[in-house]
Amino acid sequence: MRVKLEPDTAFIGKKFAYIFLGIIFSLNAITLIWFFLFSNLK
C-alpha cells in the first residue's frame, strides 16, 4: 500500500510546488512591470 500511495503523493506535491512557484514568479513579474511603469511615468 505504501508503494502504491507514494507516487500519488509525490505527484501531488510536485504539481503543488509548480503551481506555488508559478504564482510567486507571476507576482514578482507583475510587481516589477508595475514598478517600471510607475517609475517611467515620473
Q: Where are the alpha helices (DSSP H) in 1-42?
A: 2-41
pLDDT in tens, 28-40: 999 999 998 888 7
pLDDT in tens, 1-25: 455 666 666 777 788 889 999 999 9
Entry pTM: 0.53
Rounded CA separation 33/22 (Å): 16
The x, y and z cell numbers of residue 4, run together, are 502504491
